[in-house]
């Protein structure tokens, strides 16, 4: 991605996270970047295309990172730990993307539905790891789709924790806490 396209992309992501998709205009994006509308339209045909590109790139980053980190792992628990670690690192590094992810998942517009498709595909990756753990006998039998959705949600809730604490979190500590409670539960 060239420098101008990256600047448009990063600026749009920041504005979408701060103001929301609807409240962000193409004019505001171009003014913030310091380019003419024609330049924006050279790289993206519309605000919707910028948004879709942002979602696709963010989810691609998440999927690729997980694939790379888990491809040589055979232990489903180690795979779950890798998933939790990667998602937490994405939360820490790409705060605006996660803000958009959490704010856009609930709507009824076609873009929300399109976005949810990526979330569901990501949850399916987690579900396969849980199914593998059940097959290998290291996880008890459960509704693996519900548990995968719960893992995704628990990791996303770290964003709330980060907002409340207003500081970076110790990723290793959070990963181990989430994994321990997911695997062992909260019961003594």
Q: How far apart are CA 162 and CA 182, in angstroms?
A: 20
Class of domain 1-45: mainly alpha
2.40.160.40, 3.60.21.70, 2.70.70.10, 1.10.357.10: CATH of 51-184: 1.10.357.10
Return all residues near 142 (Cβ < 8 A) that are at least 6 apart.
130, 134
pLDDT in tens, the chain (188 residues): 789 998 998 899 999 999 988 899 999 999 999 999 999 999 999 999 998 888 888 888 888 999 999 999 999 999 999 999 998 888 788 888 888 887 778 888 888 888 888 899 999 999 999 999 999 999 999 999 999 999 998 888 887 877 787 677 788 888 888 888 888 877 66
- Cα torsion 134, 140, 141, 144: sign: negative
- Domain locations along the chain: 1-45, 51-184
Q: How far apart are CA 50 and CA 64, in angstroms?
A: 21
Q: How far apart are CA 25 and CA 12, in angstroms?
A: 9
pLDDT in tens, 123-134: 999 999 999 999
């Amino acid at each position: 991605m060239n420098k101008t396209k990256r600047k448009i992309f990063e600026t749009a992501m920041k504005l979408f996270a701060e103001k929301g998709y609807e409240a962000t205009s193409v004019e505001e994006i171009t003014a913030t970047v310091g380019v003419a509308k024609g330049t924006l339209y050279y790289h993206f045909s519309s605000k919707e295309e910028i948004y879709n590109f942002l979602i696709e790139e963010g989810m691609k980053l998440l999927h690729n990172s997980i694939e790379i980190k888990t491809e040589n792992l055979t232990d489903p628990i180690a795979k779950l730990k890798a998933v939790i670690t990667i998602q937490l690192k994405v939360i820490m590094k790409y705060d605006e993307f996660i803000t958009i992810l959490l704010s856009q998942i609930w709507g009824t517009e076609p873009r929300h539905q399109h976005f949810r498709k990526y979330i569901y595909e990501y949850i399916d990756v987690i579900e396969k790891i849980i199914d593998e753990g059940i097959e290998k006998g290291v996880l008890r039998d459960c509704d693996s789709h519900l548990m995968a959705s719960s893992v995704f949600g628990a990791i996303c809730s770290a964003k709330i924790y980060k907002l409340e604490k207003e500081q970076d979190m110790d990723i290793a500590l959070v990963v181990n806490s989430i994994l321990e409670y997911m695997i062992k539960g909260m019961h003594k």
